[in-house]
């Protein structure tokens, strides 16, 4: 009993130290370090790391030749389209979301990191009104449920012995992936370069550039351009993985809270969130906890608060 109690105390002490570090008013620097480290680790094939079967709820395409993990939403679609419920993916996502909320979106996701780099382009950011911001978020729900319904239909036909695999070309196992700009950036472009199939290459053939290719490139370019003017545009309005994680984010153990004795409701936190992150209406929530499905626990609001009123909170 004494040994177990000692281990529990060590875990608690370590957790408190991590929270203290995150509350040190240098969260953005810490997050940049974690994002860079995560990007290298998740693309570990570049440094000789092997592939694992660990599914994580982030935007990291499984077809990426250097990935070390499995994309949670891609695996979710693939299992359902084969008539199998993805227990492992569901369980891992539920566990991560229940503890950290959408923190992986803000601290680990490679495409989230890519969008944070785009945000550094020195242009005036677009101001999105709160009603429009709320309405645009529904796009993610449409994408998520459309992919699940289509995959479910394919899975049903598979179970009754009338498989449609191969009938829908790119869409017959992972309905969203062919349109996902993340897959275009991290997978399609790599294989184009690796296989020498690009304009100017010796083996380039215009016939290989089908309508689907052009369509995917247009989507990716649109997301990149808009993300320069609207921070984390993809995360805010498009990402189905982030939408799914939002179900548990409101009830996660780790989240953002405000100190009522210090908070003056100056709005610095919301301004920072709008110009660098997810435009979460922080002041609309109680001091006790920001329970918003779009909060990625990035900590930018903590650094922005001039009164030190915002902090990460662990709900025991």
> For residue 97, what are the contacts with CB-CB under 8 A and spacing of at least 6?
57, 245, 247, 248, 249, 252
Structural domain of residue 24, as residue ranges? 2-314
Residue-wise pLDDT for 158-196, tens only, equals: 888 877 666 566 667 789 988 999 999 998 887 777 766
CA distances from 307 to 38, 228, 258, 262, 301 (A): 31, 30, 10, 6, 11
Q: CB-based burial of residue 25 (10 Å sphere; 0-12 exposed, 13-18 middle, 19+ buried)?
A: middle
pLDDT in tens, the chain (316 residues): 556 666 666 665 655 555 555 555 578 889 999 999 999 999 998 888 888 889 999 999 988 889 999 999 999 999 999 899 999 999 999 999 999 999 999 999 999 999 999 999 999 999 999 999 999 999 999 999 999 999 998 898 888 887 766 656 666 778 998 899 999 999 888 777 776 666 556 665 655 567 788 888 999 999 999 999 999 999 999 999 999 999 888 889 999 999 999 999 999 999 999 999 999 999 999 999 999 999 999 999 999 999 999 999 887 5
Q: Number of folded domains in the chain?
A: 1
CB-CB contact of 139 with 41 (8 Å): no
């Amino acid at each position: 009993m004494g040994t177990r109690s000692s281990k529990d105390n060590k875990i608690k002490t370590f957790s408190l130290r991590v929270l203290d570090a995150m509350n040190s008013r240098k969260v953005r620097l810490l997050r940049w370090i974690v994002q860079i480290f995560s990007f290298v680790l998740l693309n570990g094939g570049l440094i000789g790391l092997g592939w694992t079967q660990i599914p994580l709820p982030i935007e990291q395409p499984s077809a990426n030749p250097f990935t070390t993990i499995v994309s949670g939403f891609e695996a979710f679609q693939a299992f359902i389209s084969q008539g199998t419920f993805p227990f492992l993916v569901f369980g891992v996502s539920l566990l991560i979301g229940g503890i950290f909320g959408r923190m992986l979106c803000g601290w680990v996701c490679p495409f989230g990191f890519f969008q944070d780099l785009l945000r550094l382009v020195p242009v005036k950011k677009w101001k999105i009104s709160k009603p429009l911001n709320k309405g645009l978020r529904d796009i993610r729900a449409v994408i998520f449920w459309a992919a699940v319904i289509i995959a479910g239909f394919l899975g049903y036909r598979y179970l009754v012995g009338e498989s449609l695999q191969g009938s829908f070309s790119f869409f017959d196992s992972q309905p969203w992936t062919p349109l996902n700009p993340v897959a275009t950036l991290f997978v399609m472009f790599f294989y184009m370069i690796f296989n020498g199939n690009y304009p100017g290459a010796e083996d380039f053939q215009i016939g290989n550039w089908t309508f689907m290719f052009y369509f995917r490139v247009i989507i990716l370019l649109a997301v990149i351009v808009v993300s320069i003017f609207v921070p984390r545009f993809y995360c805010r309005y498009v990402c189905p993985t982030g939408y799914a994680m939002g179900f548990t984010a409101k009830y996660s153990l780790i989240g953002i809270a405000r100190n009522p004795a210090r908070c003056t409701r100056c709005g610095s936190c919301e301004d920072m969130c709008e110009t660098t992150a997810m435009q979460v209406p922080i002041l609309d929530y109680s001091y006790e906890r920001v329970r918003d499905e779009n909060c990625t626990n990035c900590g930018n609001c903590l650094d922005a608060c001039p009164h030190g009123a915002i902090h990460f909170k662990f709900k025991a």
